[in-house]
A and B are shown apart, each in its own frame.
Chain A
């Protein structure tokens, strides 16, 4: 059984650019949630995907978008990057939305 894996682990982008972060869910899990964790803060919910459909969204602008693929892996896309988007982005997978969520190690995004 493989755990949740995220790629890349670190990324540096320039303001205004676009970025794609990837997440492979734990084997058997059909739900993926994305969180943003700014320095000194707890994780903030961005959105969740369940069986390839968006299943809830937090207070993030439309330039944050996502996808879930038939194998339940997922992508987080952020357009028009801003300096405040610099954060650790966490992916969590679960079997359904209300069971224990297992987190990946995160992608550290730095926008300069």
Chain B
């Protein structure tokens, strides 16, 4: 069964430090993966998808099929990056979400 695991419920870093939010998936075939973000009092929004291979707000994510991972990285975290982050896997008509990681960037 397709499944997305985000092992860290909470992640706290200091401003300017590197950050990595982990995502592991189980999927048979070539997956397409997304990262969604939800800032405080805002709606869930797409941050990036692996097929676009672009950097959004300084974040990148690389699909590692060998390790079945799609970790989200940013070299220098900013306070405005504090939010809930969800990794998601499309399966047919739906998105399968992980449980999310709450990132807090301290000043």
Contacts and interface: CB of A to CB of B under 8 A. Distances in A.
A58 interface: yes
Contacts of A66: none
A64 to B, nearest CB: 14
B94 A103 contact: no
Interface stretch (A13-21, A42-50, A70-78, A79-87): A42-50
Nearest to A104: B43
A103 B45 contact: yes
B44 interface: yes
Interface stretch (B11-19, B53-61, B70-78, B96-104): B96-104
B100 A42 contact: yes
B99 A43 contact: no
Interface residues of B, number: 21
A41 B6 CA distance: 11
Contacts of A10: none
A105 B96 contact: no
A76 to B, nearest CB: 15
Q: How large is the interface on A (under 10, 10 to 19, 20 to 34, 35 or more residues)?
A: 20 to 34
B93 A43 contact: no
Interface SS of chain A: loop
Given A42-B100, A90-B44, A106-B43, A101 B95 contact: yes
Contact of A45 (B4, B6, B46, B96): B96
Given A33-B94, A56-B92, A42 B43 contact: no
A56 B93 contact: yes
A44 B95 CA distance: 8
Given A43-B44, A105-B43, A106-B43, A55 B93 contact: yes
Interface of B: 4, 6, 9, 42-46, 49, 86, 88, 90, 92-100
15 contacts: A40-B99, A41-B100, A42-B86, A42-B88, A42-B97, A42-B99, A50-B93, A55-B93, A56-B92, A58-B94, A98-B93, A100-B46, A101-B46, A104-B43, A105-B43
